[in-house]
Chain A
Amino acid sequence: MATAESVLKPDFAAKRKHFIFNDEHEALRESVRNFALKELAPHAAEWEETTFPNWVFNRMGELGLLGLDKPEEYGGQGGDYFSAMVLAEEITNANCGGLAMGVAVHTDMAMPPILAFGTEEQKQQWVVPAIRGEKILCLGITEPDAGSDVAGIKTRAVKDGEEYVINGSKTYITNGHRADVIVLVTKTDADAGYDGFSLFLVPMDSEGVIREKKLEKMGMHASDTALLAFQDVRVPASALLGQEGKGFYHIMWELQGERMIGAAGCVAAAQKCFEHTLQYAKEREAFGKAIGHFQVIRHKFAEMATKIEAARQLVYMTAYRFANGEYPVREISMAKLYSARIACEVADECIQIHGGAGYMREYNVERVWRDMRLNRIGAGTDEIMLEVIGRSYGL
């Protein structure tokens, strides 16, 4: 309990770790941060032009960062779920939203369904090299005519003897150009509604897989984003991932982890943008003093810090539930919705505090603003999150 003396002079610099993290997490945090700052951040500006290179995966595999929470028998570190969150948070130190996204698609979107629903052979074939950083994964859900409405996808997989023949197209696919394999959502039974979907592991060098174009985006420039076509692509029956007909439920499960990790990334990115802007406000002078010393600016920081803290607590508490075996779809949706919103709000306020500089590319805030804007759309739009939350109450 606080004493009368101590409340007069609180120690704001005291280390105040959240209860979901232990000393090992903190050590991991330190090492990921150092790696990101030393080996990635110096290239960030260049990668905005070129997209980040594949050696990032090799190097992260070497450092054991691609399988932090994955089982040791497949080369992972066997850590808990929170270690994956540490990565999602600290990788933001690379200053490169597109890179963080590319890595997250690999480790937290494409890999979990293979581990959860895959056969031993599939895990050996894809997860083991993916954790080593030798193979790159991507995930194909969205199509030109089906985004939020997942059930509206049209890519078909038709059984033909011992094989399946796949036709269709996928878009906005992160890692789509560099990936070695795609976790592909298809329709195997056009008449079975939600029970007519199946997942496949399709090698990207299969005949008939066409990487149509690199898509140009508002932000996330370092990420490679593809429009893909599948024309009579033949895969063996052993490429089926999970149960035939259960693909929709498999992918809905996958989306929960994706949203959780995305939310953690939003909070960390907002925090980083905040700190960067704080530094600026302490240095930049106007009307004879540092702008941070004007009450209106100081209150903007107070407001942003409060929003970020709220989002952080929401994410940590939800992760805690998730890691403890609950399936808290409602809270995950809330965490995703709220974190994405505040990340955009914080980035915008940071531009405002920077004034003219904020609008300039060299200060990097405008990039964060462009990058963050994706979070209110990707992995389920704000509107879908609201719909999930609303319906979860039987409304």
Chain B
Amino acid sequence: MPAINPPFTEEHEALRESVRGFIERELAPHAQRWEDEEWFPDEVFTKLAGQGLLGLKYPTEHGGEGGDYLHEAVLIEELTRIGSGGTAAGIGAHVNIATPPIWRFGSEGQKRDYLEPAIRGEKIGALGITEPHAGSDVAALRTRATPVDGGWVVNGEKTYITNGVRAHFIVTAVKTTEEGGHHGISFLIVDRQEGVKSSALHKLGWHASDTATIAFEDVFVPSENLLGGEHEGFKLIMANFQWERLAMALGAVGAMRAAWERTAQFARERQAFGRPLSGHQAIRHKLADLATSAYTCQCVTYDALRRFVSGEEPLREVTMAKLLTQRASFELMDACLQIHGGAGYMREYWIERAARDARLGPIGGGSDEIMREILGRLIEAPPAR
């Protein structure tokens, strides 16, 4: 019988098994502490690197594992088993959004200086696009790079940057023309240095994640740190959005699966009115509804993933997967919290954290409203089916 969950094969399932084992042994036991401290230690990156997990999709010549996006998809789903959305987010920001542009568009020197140490877990990366005055509307960003001898001087401010305090380098979107906009944005790899000032932000969820506002004050960036073509930064942004959004969908699929399993277990054990919660039809049907939602999200996400890895340009499918899964995940978490009753509201149970963590989904990586806007515009030209 062929694999039941295309595009994954037995090889991926074996990887899944080993990643899950590693996460449950090495990371999950610390989740609560990291959440309380609003920080997970840097050694998480070196531990993951030790397992080859920071370079699954990168070529072996740069120290990667020579796999592809599917291997990474497995990692993303399983990272949710840490039980700390913030920790998964920090790892994800490094693997899914900060390093791919260097792999795709970087020079050999940039790959040697940033990608390779990142795969080894020695340098931690962040991606800096969002600004206080430019969120969904990327073209409006203001951070300015002024040309000087041998490079640029950068001034401006980035915010909501995951890994923003700890990052050794920030892949930063800057205006390289006065007008900025679609044809005036470039990417620079900015090293941590004097003039780069990070301050941590406190959030509704994702507590273990290091999220920061970063101010750049007269920061010199040498010309060899230009990533991709000058004024062609918008292309880089668009190129990675698809994978970022797919990664978010995969994260939601993994999180929903794990949360459902734990809640079903709770419902079987918890007694009320003389029988397990699951013996009450209203609860049983709620769990059935949630299972349907989780499986639907999986199907739509895996289809988008399959298309993505096969070289199609599934903007429509990825956008739909992102829109559907993020809201469904939050709704599932909220319903799981409800099933837990009073316990669900308590910090000692994992579910209130999962619900808070899931709330970011419909906002981050392009808000629901942006997803609907993209889809609405696409609908002008429906695909032949």
Instruction: Name A residues whose Cβ lies closer than 8 Å to a Cβ of B.
Output: 1-8, 10-19, 271, 275, 278, 295, 298-299, 301-303, 305-307, 309-311, 313-314, 316-317, 320-321, 324-326, 330-331, 334, 337-338, 383, 385-391, 393-395
Contact = CB atoms under 8 A, between A and B. Distances in A.
A334 B291 contact: yes
Contact of B307 (A16, A303, A386): A16
Nearest to B289: A386
B372 A299 contact: yes
A302 B375 contact: yes
Contact of A314 (B242, B295, B371, B373): B295
Given A305-B375, A313-B300, A337-B292, A387 B285 contact: yes
B296 A10 contact: no
Contact of B288 (A19, A302, A310, A389): A389
A310 B316 CA distance: 12
A307 B374 CA distance: 15
B195 interface: no
Most chain A Cβ neighbours within 10 Å, of B268, B287, B316, B379: B379
Nearest to A325: B1
Interface string B281-310: 101110111011001110110110011110
Report whether over half of chain B's contact residues are helix, strand or loop; otherwise say mixed. helix
Closest 10 CB pairs of A and B: A298-B376, A302-B375, A389-B288, A390-B284, A313-B299, A395-B278, A390-B288, A302-B372, A386-B285, A386-B288
A18 B310 CA distance: 12
Contact of B299 (A314, A390, A394): A314
Contacts of A321: 4
Contact of A331 (B1, B295, B312): B295
Given A299-B376, A310-B300, A275 B382 contact: yes
B221 interface: no
A337 B309 CA distance: 30
B384 interface: yes
Contacts of A317: 299, 302-303
B383 A13 contact: yes
B379 A302 contact: yes
A338 B236 CA distance: 37
A2 B240 CA distance: 10
B350 to A, nearest CB: 20
Contacts of A19: 6, 306
Contacts of B242: 2, 7
B295 A334 contact: yes
A129 B160 CA distance: 68
A4 B291 contact: no
A391 B284 contact: yes
Contact of A301 (B307, B376, B383): B376
B201 interface: no
B219 interface: no
A55 to B, nearest CB: 29
A313 B239 contact: no
B320 interface: yes
A305 B287 contact: no
A3 B381 CA distance: 21
Given A7-B238, A310-B320, A310-B324, A395 B287 contact: yes
Contact of B284 (A4, A305, A306, A387): A387
B73 to A, nearest CB: 14
A210 to B, nearest CB: 38
Contact of A395 (B104, B268, B376): B268
B285 A313 contact: no
B25 interface: no
B70 interface: no
A295 B312 contact: no
B320 A305 contact: yes
Name which of B317, B371, B375, B378 has the most chain A CB atoms within 10 A of its CB.
B375
B2 interface: yes
B1 A390 contact: no
A302 B371 contact: yes
A334 B296 contact: yes
Interface residues of B, number: 65
Contacts of B381: 12-13
B150 interface: no
Q: Count chain A CB atoms within 10 A of each CB in B105, B288, B313, B372 and give the residue with the most.
A: B288
Contacts, number: 169
Interface in B107-144: none
B372 A310 contact: no
Given A16-B307, A338-B296, 18 more contacts: A4-B105, A4-B235, A6-B313, A7-B315, A10-B315, A17-B385, A19-B6, A299-B376, A306-B324, A310-B296, A311-B296, A313-B296, A317-B302, A331-B295, A383-B285, A390-B278, A391-B284, A393-B287
A375 B380 CA distance: 29
A391 B267 CA distance: 13
A395 B296 contact: no
Contacts of B374: 302
A301 B287 CA distance: 29
B1 A314 contact: no
B314 interface: yes
Contacts of B28: none
B256 interface: no
Contacts of B375: 301-302, 305-306
A22 B378 CA distance: 26
A15 to B, nearest CB: 5
Contacts of A3: 239
Nearest to A15: B384
Given A19-B6, A324-B1, A389-B288, A310 B379 contact: no
B170 interface: no
A306 B239 contact: no
A306 B376 contact: no
A12 B6 CA distance: 23
B373 A298 contact: yes
B352 to A, nearest CB: 23
Interface string B62-95: 0000000000000000000000000000000000
B379 A395 contact: no
Contact of A389 (B292, B313, B382): B292
B311 interface: yes
Contacts of B378: 12
Given A6-B313, A386-B285, A302 B373 contact: yes
A305 B378 CA distance: 10
Nearest to A275: B382
A146 to B, nearest CB: 20
A11 B314 CA distance: 9
Contact of A14 (B292, B296, B323, B383): B383
A334 B298 CA distance: 12
Nearest to A388: B288
A172 to B, nearest CB: 24
Contacts of B317: 309
Given A15-B384, A303-B372, A326-B1, A395 B267 contact: yes
Contacts of A387: 281, 284-285, 288
